[in-house]
Amino acid sequence: MYDGIVQDLIDEFGRLPGIGPKSAQRIAFHILQSPSFDVSRLSTLLGEIRDKVKFCEICGNVSEQERCSICRDPRRNATLICVVEDAKDVAAIERTREFRGLYHVLGGAISPIAGIGPDDLRVTQLMQRLADGTVQEVILATNPNLEGEATATYLSRLLHTLEIRVTRLASGLPVGGDLEYADEVTLGRAFEGRRTL
CA distance 105 to 58: 9
106 near a copy of itself (CB under 8 A)? no
48 touches a copy of itself by CB under 8 A: yes
Cβ density class 68-94: b for 16+ within 10 Å, e for less:
bebbeeeebeeebbbbbbbbebbeebe
Report helix angle 4-14 to 21-33, nearest 10.
130
Given candidates 53, 114, 146, 170, which one binds a copy of itself under the rule CB under 8 A?
53
* Binding of a copy of itself by 114 (CB under 8 A): no
Q: Of the candidates 58, 59, 68, 159, which one interacts with a copy of itself according to CB under 8 A? A: 68
- Rounded to a whole number of angstroms, the distance between the first and last alpha carbons of the chain is 63
Q: Which stretch binds a copy of itself (CB under 8 A): 37-45, 130-138, 140-148, 176-184?
A: 37-45
Residue 146 C-beta: closest distance to a copy of itself, Å: 21
Piece of 11-19, 76-84, 142-150, 163-171 that binds a copy of itself (CB under 8 A) = 11-19
Strands lying side by side in the sheet with 137-140: 101-105, 77-84, 137-140, 165-168
User: According to the binding rule CB under 8 A, does residue 45 interact with a copy of itself?
Assistant: yes
Which residues share a beta bridge with 63? 54
From candidates 80, 82, 87, 102, binder to a copy of itself by CB under 8 A: 87
**Is residue 16 a contact residue for a copy of itself (CB under 8 A)?**
yes
| Residues 115-154: x where in contact with a copy of itself by CB under 8 A, - otherwise, as a string | ----------------------------------------
Number of residues that bind a copy of itself (CB under 8 A): 51
Residues 6+ apart with CB under 8 A from 184: none
| Contact in structure between 60 and 128 (CB atoms under 8 Å) | no
Query: Helices (H) and strands (E) in the chain — how many of each?
Result: 8, 6
**Binding interface with a copy of itself (CB under 8 A):** 1-6, 8-9, 12-13, 15-19, 23, 25-32, 37-50, 52-53, 62-64, 68-69, 86-88, 91, 94-95
